[in-house]
């Protein structure tokens, strides 16, 4: 057992599931934590952060007014930030987790059912100071920010533009007389919109604005801007700031708007690592790559892959545990109602969610390592690997967030009516993750960035030039014959690559045809974007499948036999699932036959049955404490009905036997006196 809840009464069905699990759950936990040492350290962090009970609310967050919710979230953010500075500081330096420390994020999720108003401070303000400041600027701002003496956010998006950064309208005009920048919002659409924490919480922010000096525009650049008094928190003169109102989720994040009326900041407040404005107004470009000012976004895209894998792990834990205790229908009249987990359709909904959480977790670690390598090269002035990394992080961000949101919703479907309750935990997970598909680069927009890279790589392959590693498979696109289908895991991965190569080839052919017919390059590209998005998606699926498989083989090399078997079953399930989702494409681009696909469907169904006895063990291996799940349906002990009733009784609606609405409206209406 991975949890320490020794004396609890566990639902007998869940207890039975745990007894029949045939692999060592802890061994799998270690694999996904990056080793036993990390698991032990993570547990220590969780004990320190969660055992005091500080994460709990007296009244459920869902019963609070928006203002109460926000204030409660600030209260807990302050407790959490103080803990981070003190108790958690030393413990958080885990080896394989990198600076974003998902372990810290993990414990933070126990404090917030939605999100902390400090999320952008830690997620983007601090990383921008680290990535975009000169060493001198960093030594001034970073200690203050890390110590939470100042709280900041990242204000880039405006009412009129989010995707198209070059179209932002806020201006920062340099005045050499006073050595200041004048920030201004010339139109309504230039108002900053969306930044988390901006509405009420922060006193500083990174503002991305069009830089003008000596009458010339040099494009968007980041500035650090004080917007509220450090003592009174009152907005400073020249600043118009507020909160943007209720949203589908993120309701404790006080996302805000911000406008400037010729607001002056010192010259030194331009973040000058990649470009500088000298005292006399001369513009000096420092960076060797024009897009380095987009660095914080790239960082967060990398972090998000891990973030959504974690949230999908939560949803699948809730839905699988619930499916083990829930019994429904009577297909065999003489037998008791089966656990809904026994229905093959239910397994089809859920096991892909577990496998995807594994696949994305491993891809996120791999992506993080690639990112660290790119950063190390850039430190030495080499930006050659940046285009490939941008293409990779863009598509992985797009597909991981989109797949996770879809699968979390599927987990909700798998929980029937009870999954619709806020207390199930799933609606909050969905609301959070569905936003990740949009922010930090919309799904379609990012896949089109990857498609640009794929088309260029395809042209290089055509010219027999060398290819970078993630697209090296494109070299086989010119063999003239369809890829040979083979249902081994490696064979399926090769087929996914053939599919990505085939789709890219179709795009290139169609664009060329359109250009020959007279369309401009831009219009030919535009007309092909549906297929370009599909090609980038196929490329990303090939990358995820390949990475997942290779990483599992590597990480289980010394595992016990049963762990090897169950991990192999899950990776195979992932490959079969996506092959069956893409039968049309496989028929177009590989030699697969109808019979091969019928056989694959049968093999998939048999695999579901093999995984079934280990399903609860697999989600237990995520080792998610009840405090993190916030779920009546997914708690470790499976006391689902008791918890649902306990939560219902907490509703403020149940405080009074008769609602005031009776005497005010119902009674007069029923007595005909309205
Ligand atoms: C407690 C402690 C824990 C710490 C907490 C840690 C984590 C917390 C967890 C969660 C994460 C944190 C916060 C999450 C919460 C909310 C955050 C939301 C914040 C935001 O939501 S914040 C706004 C983000 N907003 C966007 O995300 C806008 C998207 N829009 C763009 O990003 C661009 O606008 C684009 C790319 C569409 C077009 O840009 P463009 O018009 O300038 O460029 P163009 O298309 O013309 O391309 C010219 C050439 O540049 C190359 N290129 C482009 N980008 C590049 C890059 N980045 N690197 C390298 N190359 C790049 C191209 O590939 C091409 O290359 P080539 O020419 O060779 O083909
Ligand atoms: C919860 C949340 C938190 C956020 N937090 C922050 C924050 O802290 N700071 C910040 O600066 N921003 C933040 N944002 C803003 C976010 O980054 C943007 O909303 C996001 O980048 C999408 O941009 P957009 O809203 O302009 O969408 P649009 O670009 O207007 O997208 C609308 C539609 O147009 C399509 N589209 C747009 N351009 C193209 C194209 N070139 N080709 C094909 N289709 C296209 C898109 O695919 C989409 O379907 C947040 C957003 C949300 C939802």
User: What is the spatial distance between Cα 127 and Cα 637, in angstroms, rounded to a whole number?
Assistant: 39
Query: Nearest ligand, CA of residue 297?
Result: 1
Please, where are the H alpha helices in 1-125? 12-20, 25-33, 36-50, 66-85, 87-91, 102-111, 119-120
Enter the tokens of residue 454: 């794929």
For the chain, give every residue range classified as CATH 1.20.140.10: 443-620
**How remote is the CA of residue 143 from the centroid of ligand 2, in Å?**
32
Contact in structure between 614 and 22 (CB atoms under 8 Å): yes
- Residues contacting ligand 1 via CB (< 6 Å): 100-101, 104-105, 108, 119-120, 122-124, 154, 156-157, 162-166, 196, 291, 294, 297-298, 300, 303-304, 307, 386-387, 390, 439-441, 445, 449, 452
What is the per-residue pLDDT for 335?
93
As a whole number, mean pLDDT of residues 299-326 equals 97
**What is the DSSP annotation of 482-503?**
PBPP--SHHHHHHHHHHHHHHH
Q: Name the band, by pLDDT with cuts 50, 70 and 90, for residue 177.
A: very high
ipTM of model: 0.98
H/E stretch holding 172 reads: strand 171-175
484-493 as b/e, with b when 16 or more CB fall inside 10 Å? ebebebeebb
Residue range 443-620, CATH number? 1.20.140.10
As a whole number, mean pLDDT of residues 640-654 equals 95
Residue range 121-287, CATH number? 2.40.110.10
**How remote is the CA of residue 76 from the centroid of ligand 1, in Å?**
30
As a whole number, mean pLDDT of residues 470-493 equals 90
Q: Name the band, by pLDDT with cuts 50, 70 and 90, for residue 482.
A: confident
What is the per-residue pLDDT for 481?
79
What are the pLDDT digits (tens) for 96-114?
333 346 677 789 999 999 9
SS3 state of residue 450: helix
**What is the DSSP annotation of 342-380?**
GSHHHHHHHHHHHHHHHHHHHHHHHHHHHHHHHHHHHHT
**How remote is the CA of residue 387 from the centroid of ligand 1, in Å?**
12
Nearest atom of ligand 1 to the alpha carbon of 441:
27
H/E stretch holding 523 reads: helix 521-527
Contact in structure between 625 and 6 (CB atoms under 8 Å): no
As a whole number, mean pLDDT of residues 446-474 equals 96
As a whole number, mean pLDDT of residues 352-380 equals 95
Which has the minimum average pLDDT: 167-181, 257-271, 277-291, 351-365?
277-291
What are the pLDDT digits (tens) for 373-425?
999 998 888 999 999 999 999 999 999 999 999 999 999 999 999 999 999 99
Q: What is residue 122's DSSP assignment?
A: I
Q: Name the band, by pLDDT with cuts 50, 70 and 90, for residue 334.
A: very high
SS3 state of residue 383: coil
H/E stretch holding 399 reads: helix 386-414
As a whole number, mean pLDDT of residues 202-231 equals 98
For the chain, give every residue range classified as CATH 2.40.110.10: 121-287
- Whether the full predicted model's pTM is greater than 0.90, yes or no, is yes
What mean pLDDT, rounded, does the chain reach?
A: 94
What is the per-residue pLDDT for 7?
63
- Residues with a catalytic annotation lie at 440
How much of the chain is helix, strand and coil, in % rounded to 5?
Answer: 60, 10, 30
Indicate whether 5 pLDDT > 90: no
Compute how many other C-beta atoms are within 10 angstroms of the C-beta atom of residue 15.
14
As a whole number, mean pLDDT of residues 125-145 equals 96
Burial class (CB in 10 A: 0-12, 13-18, 19+), 335: exposed
Q: Name the band, by pLDDT with cuts 50, 70 and 90, for residue 92.
A: low
Using a pLDDT cut of 90, give the percent of the chain over it.
89
What are the pLDDT digits (tens) for 610-637?
999 999 999 999 999 999 999 999 999 9
As a whole number, mean pLDDT of residues 67-86 equals 92
Please, where are the H alpha helices in 255-343? 295-325
């Amino acid at each position: 057992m991975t949890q320490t809840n020794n004396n609890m009464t566990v639902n007998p069905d869940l207890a039975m599931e745990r007894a029949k699990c045939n692999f060592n759950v802890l061994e799998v936990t270690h694999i996904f934590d990056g080793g036993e040492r990390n698991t032990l350290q993570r547990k220590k962090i969780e004990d320190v952060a969660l055992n005091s009970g500080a994460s709990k609310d007296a009244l459920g967050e869902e019963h609070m007014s928006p203002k109460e919710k926000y204030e409660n979230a600030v209260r807990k953010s302050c407790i959490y930030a103080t803990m981070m500075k003190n108790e958690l500081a030393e413990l958080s330096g885990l080896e394989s987790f990198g600076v974003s420390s998902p372990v810290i994020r993990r414990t933070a999720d126990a404090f917030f059912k939605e999100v902390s108003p400090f999320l952008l401070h830690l997620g983007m303000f601090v990383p921008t100071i680290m990535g975009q400041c000169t060493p001198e600027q960093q030594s001034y701002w970073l200690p203050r920010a890390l110590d939470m003496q100042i709280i900041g956010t990242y204000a880039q998006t405006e009412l009129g533009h989010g995707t198209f950064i070059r179209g932002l309208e806020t201006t920062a005009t340099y005045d050499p007389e006073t050595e200041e920048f004048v920030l201004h919002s010339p139109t309504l659409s230039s108002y900053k919109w969306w930044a988390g924490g901006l509405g009420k919480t922060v006193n500083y922010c990174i503002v991305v604005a069009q830089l003008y000096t000596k009458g010339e525009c040099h494009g968007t650049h980041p500035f650090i801007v004080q917007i509220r008094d450090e003592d009174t928190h009152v907005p400073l003169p020249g600043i118009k700031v507020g909160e943007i109102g209720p949203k589908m989720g993120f309701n404790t994040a006080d996302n805000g708007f911000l406008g400037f009326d010729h607001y002056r900041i010192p010259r030194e407040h331009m973040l000058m690592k990649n470009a500088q404005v000298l005292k006399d107004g001369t513009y000096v470009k420092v960076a060797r790559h024009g897009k380095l000012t987009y660095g914080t976004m790239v960082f967060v895209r990398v972090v998000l892959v891990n973030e959504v894998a974690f949230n999908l792990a939560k949803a699948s834990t809730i839905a699988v545990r619930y499916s083990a205790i829930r019994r429904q229908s009577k297909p065999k009249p003489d037998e008791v109602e089966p656990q809904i987990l026994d229905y093959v359709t239910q397994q089809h909904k859920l096991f892909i969610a577990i496998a995807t959480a594994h696949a994305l977790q491993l891809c996120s670690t791999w992506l993080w390592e690639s990112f660290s390598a790119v950063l190390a090269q850039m430190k030495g002035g080499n930006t050659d690997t940046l285009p490939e990394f941008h293409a990779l992080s863009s598509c992985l961000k797009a597909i991981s967030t989109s797949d996770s949101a879809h699968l979390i919703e599927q987990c909700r479907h798998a929980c029937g009516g009870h999954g619709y309750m806020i207390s199930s935990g799933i609606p909050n997970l969905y609301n959070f993750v569905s936003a990740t598909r949009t922010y930090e680069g919309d799904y379609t927009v990012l896949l089109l960035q990857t498609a640009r890279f794929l088309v260029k790589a395809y042209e290089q392959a055509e010219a027999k030039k060398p290819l970078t590693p993630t697209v090296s498979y494109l070299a086989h696109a010119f063999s003239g014959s369809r890829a040979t289908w083979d249902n081994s895991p490696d064979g399926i991965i090769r087929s996914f690559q053939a599919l990505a190569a085939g789709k890219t080839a179709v795009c290139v052919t169609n664009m060329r045809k359109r250009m020959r017919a007279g369309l401009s390059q831009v219009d030919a590209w535009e007309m092909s974007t549906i297929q370009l998005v599909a090609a980038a998606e196929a490329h990303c699926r090939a990358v995820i499948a390949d990475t997942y498989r290779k990483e599992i083989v590597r990480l289980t090399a010394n595992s016990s036999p049963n762990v090897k078997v169950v991990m192999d079953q899950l990776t195979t399930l992932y490959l079969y699932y996506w092959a069956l989702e893409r039968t049309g494409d496989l028929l177009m681009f590989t030699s697969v036959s109808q019979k091969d696909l019928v056989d694959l469907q049968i093999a998939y169904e048999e695999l579901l049955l093999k995984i079934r006895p280990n399903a609860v063990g697999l989600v237990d291996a995520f080792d998610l404490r009840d405090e993190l799940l916030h779920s009546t349906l997914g708690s470790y002990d499976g006391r689902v009905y008791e918890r649902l009733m306990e939560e219902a009784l907490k509703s403020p609606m149940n405080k009074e036997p008769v609602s005031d609405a009776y005497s005010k409206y119902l009674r007069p209406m029923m007595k005909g006196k309205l």
